């Protein structure tokens, strides 16, 4: 394993109910790299992200993640419906050690960066799908992650809004230099962003 | 004396009441109008029943209100209501702590859930009167047996609703919490508590209704005071209007719980839902 690798998967296998989803997969992602993962449904893209995030364990092989500062933007925003946009961002910040006052201030700042400063007090149900995903992006970047996992974050959005959010995401990735694993069905989303693109086959 | 329609009119002047309602009801929003109409129908049914039966069997609404007024003026109504309400609140607080606490434990641990299942089944299956008699046997007359009965009857309802909240909690939010390394306290305050809040409130509402019935039964069987005991006394001396007045007082007990406890709690716990529209 290279000493500098941020994410290292070594001959990892994972099966669900006897169905092999990942078979002896190895992958190395170095700091600051953006790796695109493409492939048809059922190829194991989300499983791979879950393994990196530590949400599941491999049946065989090893997963090594060099930093615990990790963010994950899921296909759906996964916001707490009973907390405002700002409180959702602040909750992640507080979980990562920020006190109440600084979490609130930082949450406001990050909402401003994704263009939602005016909606900080809104509940998720009061926001459109695209706005909710922006809040999820703000939450993901607010914790200053070393690793960012993106699982088709814009798949549910219409094309116009997708381009707008994609531009926002590119700017944030370039500004922060975060290591990214980006799962998508749409190859154009990775144009000019990904250092490597992996094709997974079922 | 046999009841007649003419006599009933002297108890409640129906045409005048109907004319009054016609002016009164349009001032309310439509939904409330239907609720008022429902109450009106209940009163009408009660009045008709009183008109067709002996006054020693069914007291008319007017006679009941007069008895209630008399109990209120003498101070007895307030005293007995406070005694029953105090017992009910203590029992509900204990049942909430027990039901919610065990519900949380069972929600987190499948082994604990399986361990508690027989106890839940027993407490929910035993007839209320059996538990009341056990309470009398163990604790004798007075507060403790009343609180015991209400607690045993209501705790499983709160427990089950807490558990239902756990089972319906969005697992995606749990995953999100794990990814962002929420500490245990934050899982509790940001995910579990608000996530199961609706179910807990529903459980408490059901428990409050059951609790009112249980407190009255326990007081009727084995207490020297309270609304249930007063009801029993009115029955013993066949003071039918007073008996009906204590029945109204039991409804008042539920109303006090609803407006004084459940509604404010609902407002606090479900504030986000109201604000989010």
Task: Read off the pLDDT of residues A27-64 as tens digits, 9 standing for 90 and up.
Answer: 999 999 999 999 888 889 999 999 999 999 999 999 99
The pLDDT, as a whole number, for residue B11 is: 57
Cβ-based interface (< 8 Å): residues of A facing B = 53-55, 68, 70-72, 74, 76, 78, 80-83, 91-92, 94-96, 123-126, 139, 143
Interface probe, candidates B169, B171, B179, chain A, greatest A C-beta count within 10 A? B179
Section B191-208 average pLDDT: 92
Count A/B contacts: CB-CB distance under 8 Å.
Answer: 58
Q: Does B271 score more than 60 pLDDT?
A: yes
Give, in order, the Cα–Cα distances in Å from A83 to each of B172, B173, B187, B189, B272. 16, 12, 13, 11, 7
Mean pLDDT (whole number) for B212-240? 94
- What's the confidence (pLDDT) of residue B30? 77
If we measure between CA atoms, which residue out of A40, A41, A118 comes closest to residue A85?
Answer: A118
Q: Are A146 and A70 in contact (CB under 8 A)?
A: yes
pLDDT at B2 over 80: no
Residues B137-190 pLDDT 10s: 999 998 999 999 999 999 999 999 999 999 999 999 999 999 999 999 999 999
The helix/strand count (H/E) of chain A reads as: 5, 8
Q: Which residues pair with A27 in a beta bridge?
A: A9
Share of chain B above pLDDT 90, in %: 78
Asked if residue B196 has pLDDT above 60, the reply is: yes
- Which tokens belong to A2? 């290279």
**Burial of residue B242, with CB atoms counted within 10 A of its CB: 0-12 exposed, 13-18 middle, 19 or more buried:** buried
Nearest residue to A111 (alpha-carbon basis) of A125, A100, A121: A121
Nearest to A143 among B180, B194, B276 (CB): B180
* pLDDT tens track for B4-25: 444 544 556 667 767 776 666 6
Tell me if B181 and A96 make a contact (CB, 8 A cut-off): yes
Q: pTM of this prediction?
A: 0.80
Across the interface, whether the CB atoms of A78 and B172 are under 8 A apart is answered yes
pLDDT, mean over chain B: 90
Tens digit of each residue's pLDDT (9 = 90 or more) over A138-149? 999 999 999 999
Which residue of B lies nearest to A126 if distances are taken between CA atoms? Answer: B276
CB distance B88 to B150 below 8 Å: yes
Residue B249 has pLDDT above 80, yes or no: yes
pLDDT tens for each residue of B42-94:
999 999 999 999 999 999 999 999 999 999 999 999 999 999 999 999 999 99
What is the number of other CB atoms lying within 10 angstroms of the CB of residue A113? Answer: 17
Tokens of B241: 């209007």
In chain B, the residue whose alpha carbon lies closest to the alpha carbon of A68 is B181
Interface test with B, best of A80, A86, A97, A133 (most B CBs within 10 A): A80
B contacts of A82 (beta carbons < 8 Å): 194-195, 197, 272-273
Kindly write down the DSSP assignment for every residue of B230-253, as one continuous string.
HHHHHHHTT-HHHHHHHHHHHHHH
Q: What percent of chain A lies above the pLDDT cut of 90?
A: 73
Neighbours of B27 (CB within 10 A): 8
pLDDT at A151: 95
Q: Residue A95 is nearest to which of B173, B175, B181, comparing CB atoms?
A: B181
Cα A187 to Cα B74: distance, rounded to the nearest angstrom: 83
DSSP 8-state code for residue B270: T
Residue B5: the pLDDT is: 46
Residue B270: pLDDT over 90: no
Question: What pLDDT shows up at residue B24?
Answer: 67
Nearest CA in chain A to B268: A82
**The predicted structure's pLDDT at residue A193:** 87
Note the pLDDT of residue A43: 87
Give the pLDDT score at B1.
45
Q: Which chain A residues are closer than 8 Å to B173 by Cβ?
A: 78, 80
B178 in contact with A at a CB cutoff of 8 Å?
yes
CB contact under 8 A, A53 and B194: no
Which residue matches tokens 């029945």? B247
Q: What is the pLDDT of residue B66?
A: 96
Q: Is B185 on the interface with A (CB under 8 A)?
A: no
Spatial CB neighbours of A179, under 8 Å, sequence gap ≥ 6: A6, A7, A29, A30, A31, A32, A33, A34, A146, A147, A148
Length of chain B, in residues: 277
Q: Please indicate whether, in this complex, the C-beta atoms of B177 and A68 are within 8 angstroms of each other.
A: no
- Rounded average pLDDT over B177-205: 93
pLDDT value of position A18: 86
pLDDT of residue B121: 93
Averaged pLDDT, B88-111? 95
Which residues in chain A come in under a pLDDT of 70?
1-3
User: How confident is the model at residue B25, as a pLDDT?
Assistant: 65
Neighbour tally for A58: CB within 10 Å: 18
Residues of B in contact with A95 (CB under 8 A): 177, 180-183, 186
Farthest-apart Cα atoms in chain A, separation: 49
């Amino acid at each position: 394993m290279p000493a500098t690798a941020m994410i290292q998967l070594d001959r990892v296998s994972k099966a669900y109910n006897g169905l092999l989803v990942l078979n002896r997969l190895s992958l190395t992602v170095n700091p600051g790299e953006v790796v695109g993962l493409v492939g048809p449904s059922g190829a194991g893209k989300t499983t791979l992200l879950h393994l990196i995030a530590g949400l599941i364990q491999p049946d065989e092989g090893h997963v090594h993640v060099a930093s615990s500062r990790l963010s994950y933007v899921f296909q759906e925003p996964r916001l707490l419906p009973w907390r405002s946009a700002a409180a959702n961002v602040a909750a992640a910040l507080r979980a990562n050690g920020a006190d109440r006052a600084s979490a609130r201030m930082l949450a406001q700042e990050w909402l401003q960066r994704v263009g939602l400063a005016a909606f900080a007090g809104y509940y998720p149900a009061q926001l459109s799908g695209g706005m909710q995903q922006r809040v999820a992006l703000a939450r993901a970047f607010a914790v200053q992650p070393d690793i960012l996992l993106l699982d088709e974050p814009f798949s549910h959005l219409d094309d116009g809004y997708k381009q707008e959010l994609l531009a926002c995401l590119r700017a944030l990735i370039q500004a922060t230099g975060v290591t990214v694993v980006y799962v998508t069905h749409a190859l154009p989303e990775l144009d000019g962003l990904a250092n490597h693109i992996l094709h997974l086959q079922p | 004396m046999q009841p007649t329609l003419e006599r009933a009119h002297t108890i409640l002047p129906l045409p005048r009441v109907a004319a009054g309602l016609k002016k009164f009801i349009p001032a309310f929003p439509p939904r409330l109008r239907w609720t008022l109409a429902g109450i009106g129908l209940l009163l009408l049914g009660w009045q008709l029943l009183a008109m067709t039966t002996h006054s020693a069997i069914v007291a008319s609404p007017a006679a009941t209100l007069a008895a209630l007024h008399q109990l209120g003026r003498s101070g007895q109504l307030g005293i007995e209501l406070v005694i029953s309400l105090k017992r009910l609140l203590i029992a509900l607080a204990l049942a909430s702590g027990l039901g919610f606490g065990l519900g949380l434990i069972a929600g987190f641990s499948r082994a604990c859930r399986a361990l508690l299942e027989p106890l839940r089944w027993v407490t929910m299956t035993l007839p209320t009167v059996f538990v009341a008699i056990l309470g009398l046997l163990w604790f004798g007359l007075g507060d403790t047996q009343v609180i015991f009965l209400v607690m045993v009857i209501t705790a499983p309802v709160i427990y089950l609703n807490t558990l239902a909240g756990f089972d319906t909690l969005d697992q995606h939010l749990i995953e999100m919490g794990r990814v962002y390394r929420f500490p245990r306290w934050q899982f509790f305050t940001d995910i579990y508590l608000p996530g199961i809040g609706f179910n807990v409130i529903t459980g408490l509402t059901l428990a409050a209704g059951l609790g009112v019935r249980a407190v009255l039964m326990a007081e009727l069987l084995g207490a020297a005071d309270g609304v249930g005991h007063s009801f029993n006394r009115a029955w013993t001396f066949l003071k039918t209007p007073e008996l009906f007045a204590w029945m109204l007082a039991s409804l008042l007990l539920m109303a006090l719980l609803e407006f004084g406890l459940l509604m404010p709690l609902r407002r606090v716990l479900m504030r986000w839902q109201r604000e989010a529209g």
